C-alpha cells in the first residue's frame, strides 16, 4: 500500500511541475501580448471582458470532469487575473466596506490579482470610475427577494458609464458571534436592512425578542461585534473570515434560492462575446399621465 501511495504522490508531483511550467509559459505569452498592444496603440486596452467570457465558456464546454465546470472556470479566472496583472494591475471599486457581498462579486468576476477599492456609497463607485481613479466598478442591481436596487438605476440616469458584465451571486446569510459574545445574553442583532428583511421569518421564529438594528452593510455589522458582548450579526462568509467571527447558525435566509445580480461598470464599450445581454433603461419626468 505504501509503494502504491508513493507512486500516486510522485505522479501528482510530476503533474504539479508541468502545471507550474505551463502557467509560467502562459504568463510569458500574456506579457508579450501587452508589449504588442503597447507598441501599436498609445492607449492600449488590456482587459477585454468579451475575450474572458469566451475563454471561460470554452473552459466549461470542453471540461470532462471529475472537476465540475464552475470549479474549473474559477481556476482559469484566477490564472487570467494573475496574467492580466503582469500587463496592468487593475483597480476595481466596489460598494464597501471590505467583507461585503459586493466585494465577493468583484473577486468572483476579476479574480484576486486586482486592487480592490471599497467605497461608502453606490454613487461614489460611479464617480471613481468616471474620473479614471478606478478601471471598473461593481455595484448591486437586483435581488431575487427584494427586487431592484433603485439607487443603482437612478445613478445610471446621470452617468455615461457602460455595463461591461454581470455577476450572479447566491446569497447565504449566517448568524455570527464575536470572540467575547455571551450568546445567552444577546439583546440585539445587527445587519443591513435588506438582510434583515431576507431573514425575517427565521428571526421571528428563533429570536422573537431580540432587537434588530439596521446598519450600513453586513460587513459593518460584523465589525461591530469586536466591541460588543451582547450582540450578534448577520453577514456572509467573507465578513466572517475577515473579522474572525464564529458562526452560530448558517444559511438563515428565508429563501434558499436568494440571489443578487451585480453589474460591472466601465468607461468603454464592450464588444459582443457571442452570448450577451442587452440592458435598456428609460427615464421620464414625474408628472401625471406620463404612463
- All three cell numbers of 211, joined, read 432587537
278 within domain boundaries: no
99 with 51, same domain: the answer is no
- Whether the CB-CB separation of 221 and 181 falls below 8 Å is answered with no
153 with 264, same domain: the answer is yes
203 with 157, same domain: the answer is no
d(CA 80, CA 86): 10
153-167 average pLDDT score: 90
275 within domain boundaries: no
Q: pLDDT confidence of 273, banded at 50, 70, 90?
A: confident
pLDDT of 236 strictly over 90:
yes
- Whether the CB-CB separation of 161 and 267 falls below 8 Å is answered with yes
4 with 82, same domain: the answer is yes
pLDDT of 244 strictly over 90:
yes
Cell 427615464, located at residue: 283
pLDDT at residue 264, as a whole number: 94
290 within domain boundaries: no
48 with 63, same domain: the answer is yes
78 with 96, same domain: the answer is no
Q: For 99-116, write each residue's pLDDT tens digit.
A: 899 999 999 999 999 999
95 with 83, same domain: the answer is no
45 Cβ contact partners less than 8 Å away, ≥ 6 residues apart: 37, 268
80 with 143, same domain: the answer is no
133 with 261, same domain: the answer is yes
To the nearest whole number, what is the mean pLDDT of the chain? 90
182 within domain boundaries: yes
* Domains contained in the chain, number: 3
Burial class (CB in 10 A: 0-12, 13-18, 19+), 100: buried
263 within domain boundaries: yes
The pTM of this model reads 0.84
152 within domain boundaries: yes
CATH number, domain containing residue 124: 3.40.190.10
188 with 144, same domain: the answer is no
d(CA 244, CA 199): 22
Position with higher pLDDT, 274 vs 95: 95
Q: In which domain, by residue range, is 156 found?
A: 89-171+257-270
Closest by CA position to 176, among listed 224, 242, 222: 222
133 with 67, same domain: the answer is no
Burial class (CB in 10 A: 0-12, 13-18, 19+), 212: middle
Q: For 180-232, write each residue's pLDDT tens digit.
A: 899 889 999 999 988 999 999 999 999 999 999 999 889 999 999 988 899 99
9 with 125, same domain: the answer is no
Q: For 31-74, write each residue's pLDDT tens digit.
A: 898 889 888 888 888 888 888 889 899 999 999 989 999 999 99
149 within domain boundaries: yes
Amino acid at each position: 500500500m505504501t509503494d502504491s501511495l508513493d507512486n500516486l504522490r510522485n505522479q501528482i508531483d510530476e503533474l504539479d511541475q508541468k502545471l507550474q511550467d505551463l502557467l509560467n509559459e502562459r504568463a510569458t505569452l500574456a506579457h508579450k501580448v501587452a508589449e504588442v498592444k503597447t507598441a501599436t496603440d498609445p492607449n492600449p486596452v488590456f482587459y477585454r471582458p468579451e475575450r474572458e467570457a469566451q475563454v471561460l465558456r470554452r473552459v466549461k464546454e470542453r471540461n470532462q470532469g471529475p472537476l465540475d465546470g464552475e470549479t474549473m472556470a474559477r481556476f482559469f479566472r484566477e490564472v487570467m487575473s494573475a496574467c492580466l496583472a503582469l500587463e496592468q494591475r487593475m483597480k476595481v471599486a466596489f460598494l464597501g466596506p471590505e467583507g461585503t457581498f459586493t466585494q465577493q462579486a468583484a473577486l468572483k468576476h476579476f479574480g484576486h490579482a486586482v486592487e480592490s477599492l471599497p467605497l461608502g456609497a453606490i454613487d461614489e463607485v460611479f464617480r471613481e470610475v468616471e474620473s479614471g481613479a478606478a478601471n471598473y466598478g461593481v455595484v448591486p442591481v437586483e435581488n431575487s427577494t427584494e427586487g431592484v436596487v433603485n439607487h443603482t438605476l437612478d445613478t445610471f440616469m446621470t452617468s455615461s458609464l457602460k455595463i461591461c458584465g454581470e455577476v450572479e451571486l447566491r446569497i447565504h446569510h449566517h448568524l455570527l458571534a464575536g470572540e467575547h459574545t455571551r450568546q445567552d445574553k444577546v439583546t440585539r442583532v445587527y445587519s443591513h436592512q435588506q438582510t434583515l428583511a431576507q431573514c425575517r421569518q427565521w428571526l421571528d421564529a428563533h429570536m422573537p425578542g431580540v432587537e434588530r438594528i439596521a446598519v450600513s452593510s453586513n460587513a459593518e455589522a460584523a465589525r461591530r461585534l469586536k466591541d460588543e458582548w451582547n450582540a450578534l450579526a448577520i453577514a456572509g462568509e467573507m465578513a466572517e473570515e475577515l473579522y474572525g467571527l464564529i458562526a452560530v447558525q448558517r444559511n438563515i435566509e428565508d429563501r434558499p434560492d436568494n440571489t443578487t445580480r451585480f453589474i460591472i461598470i466601465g468607461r468603454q464599450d464592450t464588444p459582443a462575446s457571442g452570448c450577451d445581454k442587452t440592458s435598456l433603461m428609460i427615464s421620464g419626468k414625474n408628472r401625471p399621465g406620463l404612463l
